[in-house]
Amino acid sequence: MSIEMPLMRNTNVLDLIVLSGELDLLTCPALLVKLQARARAGRQLVLDLSEVSFFGATAMALVEQVQLESIVAGGSVRLVGVPRQIMRVMTMIGFDKVVPISSSGGEQLLDFDRSASVYL
C-alpha cells in the first residue's frame, strides 16, 4: 500500500489521496491513523481508489469511520476512481448509499498534478 498526500489548491481544504495496493486487515490500521488526522481537521477528503487491487470489509469500515469523523469536524469523504470489480461489490451491499462515490477520477476533480504529491 502506498499513499500520495496532500494536494491543496489556493485556500481549498480538499485533499486528493491516491491509494494503491491491498487495503485489508494488515494495511488499514496504519492508513486509519493517517486519514483520521485529516478527517478530524475537517478536511474534504477525496480518496482515489483507481490503483487499489483489493478493498476488503476492513477498508469499508475504515472509510465509514473516517467519513463519520470528518462530518463531525465539518468535512466530508468521497471515493473516486473505484475499480469496476470493487464498485460492483460496493453496489451489491449498498456501500454506495453510505459514502458518496464519483464516477470521475481524482485528476478530473482537481486537475491533479501527481508531481505535487508527497509519498508517505
d(CA 45, CA 48): 10
- In this prediction, residue 4 carries a pLDDT of 52
Contact criterion met (CB below 8 Å) for 77 and 98 = no
Cα separation, 41 vs 24, in Å, equals 25
- Structure confidence at residue 103 (pLDDT): 63
Per-residue pLDDT of the chain (120 residues; tens, 9 = 90+): 555 554 433 336 788 899 999 999 999 999 999 999 999 999 899 999 999 999 999 999 999 999 999 999 999 999 999 999 999 999 999 999 999 998 666 555 554 444 444 333
- Dist. CA 29–CA 95, nearest whole Å: 20
Rounded to 10 deg, the angle between the 28-40 and 57-72 helix axes is 10
- The CATH architecture of the domain made up of 2-113 is 2-Layer Sandwich (3.30)
Integer Cα distance of 33 and 37 in angstroms = 7
Nearest to 60 by CA among 11, 97, 95: 95
Judge whether 7 and 15 are in contact, CB under 8 Å. yes
Q: What is the pLDDT of residue 6?
A: 44
What's the confidence (pLDDT) of residue 12?
A: 66
